[in-house]
A and B are shown apart, each in its own frame.
Chain A
Amino acid sequence: MGENVIRAARYPFLPEARDFVSKHIDLSLDSLDRAGSEAILKRAVERVKDALILKEVRVTPQHESNYVREILSFPIAIILVSAIGNEYIRRIYSLGESRGAYKRMLMESDETLLFIGEKIGVKGILDEENSIRIKIPTYLNLAYVFHEYRWKLVNRIVDKGYVLLSRKEYARLIQIEINNYVYEKTLESLPSVIMPQSFKDAVNTIIETWSSIEASKPDYKPSGEKGENPPCINKILKRLEAGENTSHFERLAIATFMITKGRDIEEIVELFSRQPDYKYSVTKYQVEHLAGLRGGGKRYSVPSCRTMLANGLCYPDEYCKGVKHPLKYGVKNAGVEHTVS
C-alpha cells in the first residue's frame, strides 16, 4: 500500500488514484460538504491557485504524506475548474498540473517513469543506453505540438515502428498527455446537483485570485464574437498597432501565423513598423528567415495553444474550446473540402 498511495498522491491523475477514490471514498458533492472535507477543498483551491500564479501545481512530501487529502483534492479541483467554466482557467490549470508532474517525473526511477507513461497511455520500452522507445503513432499524436525541429519525425532515430527518446523527452511527451487528460476532464459536464455553499465559496476564491491577476494584465475582455483570427493573435495585433513594445515570442507568434495564412512578406513587415526598435531591413530579414526564405530554408511553425499559454499569451474565447492550435481557430467546425484520388 505505502509506495502506491504515495505515488497516487504525487500523480493523482493515475488510474490507481481513481481506484483509491472509488474504493475508499464516497465522492458525492453532498458528502463532501461535511466537516473534515474542508481541508480537501482548501488543498483543491490551492492546486488551482498554484496553476494560476506559478503555472505549476506543487506537490511537496508534506502533501504526499497526507495522501487521502492529496488524492481527493485533484478530482475536487477538477470540479471547481469545470464549475467556473472559464476557458483560460481550464487551460492554465491543466498546464499547471502537467508541469508540476513533469518536474516530479524527472526525479523518478526508470521503472516509475515507465509505469506512469504506460498508465496514462504513453507506453515506453526501456532500451539499452538509457533511452526509451515508443510507438510511432503514440509519438506523432503527442509530439506535433512542439515546434522545434528536433521533434520532427524526420530528425529522429526511427526503427521498426518505434521512435527513440531520451528520458527527458519521454517525460515531456507524458506531460503533454497529462495536460490533455486534465483538460478533457475539465470539459466534462458536472453532475446536476445543487452545489454546496462551501464549493461556491471555493469557486469565488479562485475567481478572485484570477481577477487580481487579470487586473495586472493589459485589458482583456472576450468579445463574445468569433473573429477571423483567434483572440491571442488579435491581442498581439492590437499591441503592435498601439506601438507597445512586444516580446520576442509575441513577434515570432504573429509572424509565423501571418506567414502560414499566406500574407505577403511586406505586409507582415509593416505590422512591426510601430515597434520602438523597428528597422525595416532587420525586420524584413527576420520575417524572411521565419518564412524559410533565408538561412537553412526551414519554415518556422506557429506555436501551439499550449506554448502560447505557457508564454502568457492565451486569451481564449468560447470558440477556442477544444482547439489545440491557433490555426485551428474557427476551422474546427467548418466544412471540409472533398477530393478524390
Chain B
Amino acid sequence: MVLRMLESNIRFLKREFFKYYYENIDKLVPPSPIEQREFGFFIEKGKGMLRHKCFRNLEEFHKFVLNETPLDIYVSAARYEDPGNRDMQEKKLISAELFFDIDAEPDFKEGEESAWACPNCGAYDLGVVETCPACRSSVENVETVNEDQLNKALRETDKLIKILINDFGIEESNISVFFSGNRGYHVHVDQEEFVYLTAEGRREIVDYLLIQGLEENRLIEALRKKTVNDSSLKGVVWRVYRMVLESSLDKPRATRNRKVLKQSINQAIEELRVRIDPVVTIDMHRLMRMPNSINSNSGMVKKKVGLKDLTSFNPLTEAIAIRDGEVVVKVKAFPRFKLCGKTFGPFKEEEVELPIYAAIYIICKGMGEYVGG
C-alpha cells in the first residue's frame, strides 16, 4: 500500500472481508495442532501487528476472526510448547515446517502499465519516476502483477518442487503450494525429520537451492579432465557439471579455458538456481500468511494449488475473494491491470464503477477511495 488509507476505505474493506469470512469460515483451518501455533493479525491499517496470540481450538479462532475481521491473518510455521509467550525463547520451539517464498520479480514498465505515488506529499501519476516532481523525495511504485510475472514465479516454484521431491526425498503429500494472494507463491513442507532442522541446516538447504558456496575449483578441474562422466552422480553440483559439458559439446576447446569455463558455470547456475527468498526459509519463528485468508495488499486470497494443477492454475482468476457486485471508486492513478479475465484501466483522477474485486484491488493498493455501492 502506497498512500495512507482513509477511514471510509477501511470500513468498506472490513465490511467486504467480513462477508468473505462469514461465508468461508470453514475453509479457515490453520495447520495442526492449533494449540501449538502462534497467530498474528493486522486489525487496522498502519497499526502494529497483534501477535503472540494463541487459541485452544478452531472454534475460538473462528470466533476471533469473525469478531475482529482482521485485514491480515498469520500463523507460525513453528509449533511451540507455549505459543502465547511474548519471549521468543520461552515459547519453546518444538519443530517448524520448512517454508519457502518465491516472489514475482518487479517489472515497472513505462506509460500506462505503471503508476507511482509520493508517500511524502501525496502526489501521484501514471508512469515511472524515481523522485517526486513536486517535492523531490523518493516515490513508491504501485505494485501490480501480471500473468507473465506470475508465470515466471510459478516456473521457479515448479523447479523447487522437483528438487524437493527428487533430491531431498520429500513425499508429494507433504508439500503444499499456495498462491500468496498478491505477488508470488508459498511452499510449505511438513515432513518428519525436516521439521526438526536447525537454522544452520536450513541455511544449507537455502545455499543448495540458490547454488551458493559451490566448490568452483574442484568443478573446473573435473570439467577439464572430464574424468567424471557418470550420469548416476546426483545433486545440483553434478547438474551444473552436466549442463556445462552439454553446452560445450560443439566447442571442444571451451572446456580447456578456465575463463570460458567459469562463464559457462555461472550461466548454468543462473539457469538451475531456484529464486527463493533466503531469509524466510532460515527464520524458524516466521509467521506465514494463513491459508484461505485475504491478503490486504491485494484483496485476493492465499489459495492452495494442487501439484497436478500447477501449470493450469490462474491466480488472477481463481484467488478472487469477493466476486459479486459493483461499487464506485474514485481512483487517483492506477495502471492497466487484469483480474478475472477482464482488463481494467488505466485510470487517472476519475470516478468509475467497477466489479467489486477490481475496486478492492485498487483500494488495497492505496490508490482509490470508496464512494458507494
Question: Given the interface contacts A155-B214, A158-B167, does A141 sit within 8 Å of B287 by beta carbon?
Answer: no
Q: In the complex the two chains form, what is the Cα distance from A137 to B280 in whole Å? A: 19
Q: In the complex the two chains form, what is the Cα distance from A157 to B241 in whole Å? A: 12
Flag if B237 contacts A155 (CB, 8 Å). Answer: yes
Interface centre among A154, A338, A340 (most CB of B within 10 A): A154
**B289 proximity list for chain A (CB < 8 A):** 340-341
Flag if B287 contacts A136 (CB, 8 Å). Answer: no
Return the contact of A333 from the options B89, B197, B216, B287 (Cβ within 8 A).
B89
Q: Cβ of A160 < 8 Å from any Cβ of B?
A: yes
**B252 proximity list for chain A (CB < 8 A):** none
Q: Cβ of B200 < 8 Å from any Cβ of A?
A: yes
Q: In the complex the two chains form, what is the Cα distance from A138 to B285 in whole Å? A: 21
Flag if B204 contacts A144 (CB, 8 Å). Answer: yes
**B201 proximity list for chain A (CB < 8 A):** 137, 140-141, 144
Question: Given the interface contacts A154-B211, A296-B216, A338-B51, does A161 sit within 8 Å of B169 by beta carbon?
Answer: yes
Flag if B101 contacts A153 (CB, 8 Å). Answer: no
Proximity string of chain B (5-17) to chain A, C-beta cutoff 8 Å, 1 when within and 0 when not: 0000000000000
Q: In the complex the two chains form, what is the Cα distance from A149 to B279 in whole Å? A: 21
Q: Cβ of A135 < 8 Å from any Cβ of B?
A: yes
Q: Cβ of B370 < 8 Å from any Cβ of A?
A: no
Flag if A137 contacts B215 (CB, 8 Å). Answer: no
Q: Cβ of A107 < 8 Å from any Cβ of B?
A: no
Nearest B residue to A333, CB-CB = B89
Flag if B186 contacts A140 (CB, 8 Å). Answer: no
B212 to chain A, nearest CB (A): 7
Q: Cβ of A119 < 8 Å from any Cβ of B?
A: no
Q: Cβ of A162 < 8 Å from any Cβ of B?
A: yes
Flag if A149 contacts B213 (CB, 8 Å). Answer: yes
**B237 proximity list for chain A (CB < 8 A):** 154-156
**B215 proximity list for chain A (CB < 8 A):** 149-150, 152, 155
Flag if A159 contacts B288 (CB, 8 Å). Answer: no
Q: In the complex the two chains form, what is the Cα distance from A144 to B204 in whole Å? A: 8
> Which of B122-130, B153-161, B228-236, B334-342 binds A?
B228-236
Flag if B170 contacts A339 (CB, 8 Å). Answer: no
Flag if A340 contacts B286 (CB, 8 Å). Answer: yes
Number of interface residues of A (CB under 8 A): 31
Q: In the complex the two chains form, what is the Cα distance from A48 to B201 in whole Å? A: 32
Question: Given the interface contacts A157-B233, A158-B234, A335-B87, does A340 sit within 8 Å of B288 by beta carbon?
Answer: yes
**B200 proximity list for chain A (CB < 8 A):** 140, 144
Q: Cβ of B283 < 8 Å from any Cβ of A?
A: yes
Nearest B residue to A150, CB-CB = B215
Return the contact of B207 from the options A141, A153, A158, A341 (Cβ within 8 A).
A153
**B197 proximity list for chain A (CB < 8 A):** 137, 140-141
Q: In the complex the two chains form, what is the Cα distance from A239 to B233 in whole Å? A: 47
Flag if A154 contacts B236 (CB, 8 Å). Answer: yes
Question: Given the interface contacts A135-B193, A137-B194, A339-B286, does A152 sit within 8 Å of B217 by beta carbon?
Answer: no
Question: Given the interface contacts A135-B193, A158-B235, does A341 sit within 8 Å of B99 by beta carbon?
Answer: yes
Q: In the complex the two chains form, what is the Cα distance from A50 to B311 in whole Å? A: 63
Interface centre among A150, A152, A335 (most CB of B within 10 A): A152
Q: In the complex the two chains form, what is the Cα distance from A76 to B88 in whole Å? A: 37
Return the contact of A154 from the options B168, B214, B280 (Cβ within 8 A).
B214
Q: Which of B280-313 contact A (CB under 8 A)?
A: 280, 283, 285-289
Flag if A152 contacts B213 (CB, 8 Å). Answer: yes
**A150 proximity list for chain B (CB < 8 A):** 215, 218
**B357 proximity list for chain A (CB < 8 A):** none
Q: Cβ of B25 < 8 Å from any Cβ of A?
A: no
Return the contact of B213 from the options A135, A143, A298 (Cβ within 8 A).
A298
**B208 proximity list for chain A (CB < 8 A):** 153-154, 158
Question: Given the interface contacts A336-B89, A340-B288, A341-B280, does A154 sit within 8 Å of B198 by beta carbon?
Answer: no
Nearest A residue to B167, CB-CB = A158
Return the contact of B287 from the options A158, A159, A297, A340 (Cβ within 8 A).
A340
B299 to chain A, nearest CB (A): 18
B121 to chain A, nearest CB (A): 29
Flag if A338 contacts B88 (CB, 8 Å). Answer: yes
Question: Given the interface contacts A137-B193, A137-B194, A338-B285, does A154 sit within 8 Å of B212 by beta carbon?
Answer: yes
Proximity string of chain B (160-193) to chain A, C-beta cutoff 8 Å, 1 when within and 0 when not: 0000001111100000000010000010000001
B70 to chain A, nearest CB (A): 13
**A156 proximity list for chain B (CB < 8 A):** 235, 237
**A339 proximity list for chain B (CB < 8 A):** 279, 283, 286-287
B6 to chain A, nearest CB (A): 24
Q: Which of B56-109 contact A (CB under 8 A)?
A: 74, 87-89, 99, 101
Flag if A158 contacts B236 (CB, 8 Å). Answer: yes
Flag if B285 contacts A336 (CB, 8 Å). Answer: yes
A222 to chain B, nearest CB (A): 24
Q: In the complex the two chains form, what is the Cα distance from A149 to B287 in whole Å? A: 32
Nearest A residue to B233, CB-CB = A157
Q: In the complex the two chains form, what is the Cα distance from A143 to B74 in whole Å? A: 33
**B216 proximity list for chain A (CB < 8 A):** 296-298
Proximity string of chain A (281-310) to chain B, C-beta cutoff 8 Å, 1 when within and 0 when not: 000000000000000111000000000000
**B166 proximity list for chain A (CB < 8 A):** 159-160
Flag if A157 contacts B238 (CB, 8 Å). Answer: yes
Q: In the complex the two chains form, what is the Cα distance from A159 to B239 in whole Å? A: 12
Nearest B residue to A161, CB-CB = B169
Flag if A155 contacts B288 (CB, 8 Å). Answer: no
**A340 proximity list for chain B (CB < 8 A):** 40, 49, 74, 286-289
Q: In the complex the two chains form, what is the Cα distance from A209 to B278 in whole Å? A: 48
19 contacts between A and B (CB under 8 A): A135-B193, A136-B168, A137-B193, A137-B196, A137-B201, A140-B198, A140-B205, A144-B201, A153-B205, A154-B212, A155-B237, A156-B237, A159-B166, A160-B166, A336-B89, A338-B51, A338-B285, A339-B283, A340-B286
Closest 8 CB pairs of A and B: A161-B169, A140-B201, A336-B88, A159-B234, A158-B235, A144-B200, A137-B193, A340-B287
Could you tell me which B residues sit within 8 Å of A by CB distance? 40, 49, 51, 74, 87-89, 99, 101, 166-170, 180, 186, 193-194, 196-198, 200-201, 203-205, 207-208, 211-218, 233-238, 277, 279-280, 283, 285-289
